[in-house]
Amino acid sequence: MATTKRRNVSGASAEPLMDALDRTDRAILRVLQRDASISNVALAAKVNLSAPACLRRVERLKAMGLIRGIVALLEPRALEAGMLVMIGVVLDRSTPDSFADFEKAVQKVSGCLECHVVTGEFDYFMMLRTRDHESFNRLHAEQLLYLPGVRQIRSFMVLKEVLSTTQLSV
């Protein structure tokens, strides 16, 4: 398993972050991944710490970069975004400028949740949500076709979400 490494002031790699975590830190991370809305007092009780000690640890984990944000996971269907679409993109050129232009433009695509540079047949994979296939067709015609430098777009409409999680193993 790869570990993230801390950088010291000079930029050299320090000890792996995961090695700096004790059992209590890992327990805090597991609980927060399941429910980040938990109160500090309840979190402290779950991990057998006092509330002030727990808060200090959570703040330390944030400062270390292990907690990058606290979010609410929304129900896509309730917000008329029930259709999940995976999109493979091939650019017409593999230059730094074409990649930069595409990456800047893709951030403005409605409903785009993720975009990743990948190896293999495609240059990018995008994941987006939209209401239904009609709204996806509109999005495709109005936005996706105008992304700069695109030679090919392949869309994969998700029929069933078998596994979708935000929880990492700690």
In this predicted structure, what is the pLDDT of residue 18?
77
Tokens 């950088």 sit at which residue? 7
Positive or negative CA dihedral for 100, 110, 82, 85?
Answer: negative
> Please, which pLDDT band fits residue 29 given cuts at 50, 70 and 90?
very high
Specify whether the CB–CB gap between 15 and 6 falls below 8 A: yes
Domain-wise residue ranges, the chain:
20-64, 76-157
Give me the numbers of helices (H) and strands (E) for the chain, helices first please: 5, 6
CATH number of 20-64: 1.10.10.10
Q: Residue 7: is its pLDDT beyond 50?
A: no
What is the model's pTM? 0.81
SS3 80: coil
The Cα-based distances of 8 to 56, 58, 64, 95, 136 in angstroms read 22, 21, 12, 32, 46
Select from 125, 126, 124, 136 the least CA-distant residue to 83: 136
Q: Residue 16: is its pLDDT beyond 80?
A: no
> Please, which pLDDT band fits residue 15 given cuts at 50, 70 and 90?
low
Q: What is the rounded average pLDDT of the residues 65-88? A: 95
CATH number of 76-157: 3.30.70.920
